[in-house]
Structure 1
């Protein structure tokens, strides 16, 4: 029998004072080179349902080290039973390891039946015979028994004999720790389930080639059918009481659980289906298989919480592009003004030179007329004309005739902006540097305006822009109430270390009616938390519900429904995932079938069947969603799209009125009060001011 210990690297030896002497020095010398022993000695008065700290530390160390065998040589069966209950509840004992326990009838009481559905790799040693080893008739012999897994334990547990140890050998040589989960011999497992797409869907009207368990179908039913066929067991599917409201369930103030979790904690169900999240909250209460899929958990939010149609004129360019346009406008206006002033200075210098030369010539002519009065007799108007030209000399070609539009900074910016709007200048500039700059600036304006027009055309040709919430920060800023199904989701947000996520968890509201939650989202006052598949189904269900109700109503009622639907907001699934959540199938706590179930789920996942089954479940919903999207997508010009132009016109009206008021105030309080102002002849003031 001790030869069977050789394959194990770590063994836990737990004994009391009666059997402590069995582990002699010879025992450790024989196996000490091959394995590690963790020895625990318990007192006869120690309550192993709440063991000493040293005992707990030793058991925890054994589990962390991965010990493969536990040998319990304790004469008091009640102590062993309480220790097993403690280890199962707090998971300090690896229930899937091998166990060697002394036989005791008190281990098979009815309240301990659940243990032997979880600890199946166990053998019980029962001694028979006398004490004298020299007498063959009184030679002691040992019966080796085990629990009857996978047979169902009813009202009485009768251990099944494996072999007999006598005369230092086994009688049959049977495998004491064979794999009992390889073939479950057509046993029936109870499966608790409720509808939660895509894992399970309830009351499918069309039952095609897809697997159907009771009234449920979906990805998890396909997986369970495949695993059941491979492991040879049957499934008895039922829905927990009030499952539509309780869903996964939670812990009440009385300490009892509700929903799907209650069925697993009370061991009424062996397997749980319901899109179970791989979270600590669930792992503490049941075992979860290896994840078969990863779902995007996000929020269903209302659209158009704020209307951005007034920004239509600025939507064609991004903020950085607008910043670049404004910077170029400021630089170009300044350069135009600087060049205009430069040319104006040069023109003034040329004009002064020409004027001085002209005055010299005019004086010379006047002197000539004075010296020759006979010329004046020939034409008396010549002298007067010459004197008039002396005070009003003609303009020469070098004077700044084409620079007035850029000579002042304000005018320069105004005309530069007008060129940007493709408005022609009243006159081309005089200086060649200004002309060259104007030409290239027109090319820049042409390219910019063409790009703006093309982008604006695309915006007006597509459907109305949708204002959506796509990040958690945007959701927090919107001040919407957030909620979802079950206490599981609320606990997840509360336990988060992210400040934004934790802020949502503080005001998280539990809503177990999906239809009610979606209606509240449509009203623009709520954000519903679920996986993206479930939210897509909720959108399609709401649309179908309105269509069915519309077909069954009268004209007046239909008009009222249209009014209600018009008040609702469009719904949008947030693009950013709050978390990519692994999804698993639930098993009983410390379930012995978990390793083999994980093995077959990995095979199904590697074969690509999960993706295929998921597409089968979601194809009707996705087709309906695509049809609804195409029907609702219309590129029609309406006042909502044109609202940006109206806003720009209103801004222009406002600025013009403000400027007009400022001009009136300036005229009445500054110009009219000037002593040089004449209300009968206003030109006198301006003439004097010019002088």
Structure 2
């Protein structure tokens, strides 16, 4: 396809006669422009790796490529674009646009632009920079034209720095030895352009030779000669950490350390500053008038050369700026509230699970029934033996039964259950039971009780000593089901969830609300009505900072301290969702089409490979992790709240005991005392006669 395009272009070139355009007749006759291009292209192919060349010209300079230029240069693939002299290259036609895209697609790293109209060339550069159609980091050869150096185009020469301007000087008439020559100049990078663009001379071409033989396309970013670069930053942990003092701010963080490394290796001085109203605008968004605010606004408007602020490697940011190689990958998730389900009142039943308690209860009932059955067996056996003897004595079974001290313990089903329950609580029996079967069963039942009680006590000790279990939200599905409102910074984040292919992500996008203040978001999360979206390190920072803010109250302000403590107890704890919504690469930013990016990427890769980024990240997060550890240690201490279960059990016991006491009093006054046989002076005879009747 590419060869076919070249063949068509070459046919159109051959159809143009050299004398078609007498505007530059002198140049056409002497072929100086063709010769200097031959020498330049030969130098390029010899000293640099040329993958492809893109030639952009109009019909005025088309005859330059009709002679020996391609025969006397190295065989390098090229894409040629011929534009009409009336074409507006700020909005080129379809054929021109496709040709420029083809050159970019083929990876052409040399551009030869020969346009007679300087305004047309300027509009081409503006279009190519705006839509990234031209590779601004390639090597350029252009005709010198003062219209290219207008102040409106100064931003272009901060991005296209590998360029050679060809300025033609005619032969001085009347001077015998005078010959036409070309001055080769370039942009004065890294020196900033102040008011007037003054190109810097590189070499002179005369008599088909270069006068100084200097490198035409030397690396201008390797040594920036101490130039001051504007660095806009945003306080966002752990990338940039700002510690505010009384007078100045101390700035640290991972990206600040990376910036210091780049400034040392590339020899520049950073001038750190924040965008206007950085606390409100932060990264910035597109305004109604089409401009951008915040950190991105500084980069789009050309105010900043480098941007620091935890920039995500996303298409949205790549469209507005140039991003370095990612130096890390961050887990982006939600800060969620913990549930207020206090289970301290269940302390006594927490050591065992439900099925364990069912098993213990069944064993209690079954064992108590067995004790009762054995006791009744012995009682019936004694009654049978008495019946074999004197019949008059058979009526005294109760007296004989009372004489056997071990049987009355389990002679009634209620007593049997109660004494069995007492052994389970390691309470000794008041008397040793009679009957070998009951004694053996009692011994083995005691072993069972000891093992069960030891397990219960060990589990109870662990529950009282360790922090209470937390009910948290750890997945997107749980977050959607919780019905709490989700939110984060920026409309782009909301759009990210709305355009998600995941069903739960779309549901989160439907209820996603933007919020600018992370402290306000953390307060709403503590109220249990909000979930805040950001990277896990920053969420840990605002969570720990909020918890420790309650400890920063002055001692002399006792009233406020009490109010803060009450408020803290009434609010929910903050929890970082364990599942990551997405892992996003993080980079530092450069202005669009920045020439600094290629070399910065090399140093960035080295910094990451040797482990410096990981070390700087640990340094930035160390104070936060220390505070978080201290908070966990405090939560593990014993407190009165964990004993709520004991007080609840005690209260239930008091209540049931009181009910039984009232029942006994009612029974005494309304049943016992109303009995005709009741004699308060002979209660023993009353109960003895009553038992005989039963």
Does structure 2 conserve the Cα–Cα contact (< 8 Å) formed by 1:312 and 1:645? no
Partner residue of 1:20?
62
Partner residue of 1:8?
50
Matches within 5 A, 1:346-361: none
Partner residue of 1:586?
589
- Shift of residue 28, structure 1, vs aligned partner: 4.1
- Cα 1:43–1:272 change in 2 (3 A) is same
Partner residue of 2:218?
178
Q: Secondary structure at the match of 2:191?
A: coil
CA distance in 2, matches of 1:644, 1:495: 53
Matched, 1:244 2:279: yes
- Cα 1:96–1:327 change in 2 (3 A) is farther
- Cα 1:159–1:314 change in 2 (3 A) is farther
User: Could you tell me which of 612, 625, 629 is aligned with 1:626?
Assistant: 629
List runs of 5+ in structure 2 lacking aligned partners: 1-38, 364-422, 428-432, 434-439, 657-694
Matched, 1:120 2:177: no
Return the TM-score normalized by structure 1.
Answer: 0.72
Partner residue of 1:688?
none
Return the TM-score normalized by structure 2.
Answer: 0.72
CA distance in 2, matches of 1:562, 1:71: 72
- Cα 1:477–1:293 change in 2 (3 A) is same
- Shift of residue 581, structure 1, vs aligned partner: 2.3
- Shift of residue 453, structure 1, vs aligned partner: 6.4
Does structure 2 conserve the Cα–Cα contact (< 8 Å) formed by 1:249 and 1:487? no
Q: Secondary structure at the match of 1:4?
A: helix
Partner residue of 2:526?
522
CA distance in 1, matches of 2:187, 2:245: 43
- Shift of residue 586, structure 1, vs aligned partner: 1.2
CA distance in 2, matches of 1:455, 1:82: 79
Does structure 1 conserve the Cα–Cα contact (< 8 Å) formed by 2:464 and 2:642? no
CA distance in 2, matches of 1:201, 1:262: 21
List runs of 5+ in structure 1 lacking aligned partners: 333-418, 428-434, 654-691
Deviations 1:260-319 (A, max 9, x none): 01100000111111122212221111111112222222222221244455776886678x
CA distance in 2, matches of 1:511, 1:16: 53
Deviations 1:614-652 (A, max 9, x none): 2322222222222222223223464676299869x89xx
CA distance in 1, matches of 2:453, 2:224: 76
- Shift of residue 452, structure 1, vs aligned partner: 6.7
CA distance in 2, matches of 1:25, 1:292: 50
Deviations 1:324-358 (A, max 9, x none): 9999999x9xxxxxxxxxxxxxxxxxxxxxxxxxx
Matches within 5 A, 1:244-393: 244-307=279-342
CA distance in 2, matches of 1:500, 1:273: 32
- Cα 1:491–1:641 change in 2 (3 A) is farther
> RMSD value over aligned CA atoms?
4.9
Partner residue of 2:515?
511
Moved more, 119-128 or 476-485: 476-485
CA distance in 2, matches of 1:187, 1:41: 39
Q: Secondary structure at the match of 1:99?
A: strand
CA distance in 2, matches of 1:468, 1:571: 9
Aligned length: 591
Partner residue of 2:394?
none
Matches within 5 A, 1:88-99: 88-99=129-140
CA distance in 2, matches of 1:557, 1:179: 62
Q: Secondary structure at the match of 1:284?
A: helix
- Shift of residue 138, structure 1, vs aligned partner: 6.0
- Cα 1:640–1:483 change in 2 (3 A) is farther
Moved more, 469-478 or 538-547: 538-547
Q: Secondary structure at the match of 1:503?
A: helix
- Cα 1:641–1:497 change in 2 (3 A) is farther
User: Could you tell me which of 179, 182, 192 is aligned with 1:152?
Assistant: 192
Does structure 2 conserve the Cα–Cα contact (< 8 Å) formed by 1:309 and 1:643? no
Partner residue of 1:671?
none
Moved more, 450-459 or 440-449: 440-449
- Shift of residue 255, structure 1, vs aligned partner: 1.2
Matches within 5 A, 1:667-682: none
Partner residue of 1:610?
613
CA distance in 2, matches of 1:639, 1:225: 51
CA distance in 1, matches of 2:563, 2:300: 49
Does structure 2 conserve the Cα–Cα contact (< 8 Å) formed by 1:297 and 1:531? yes
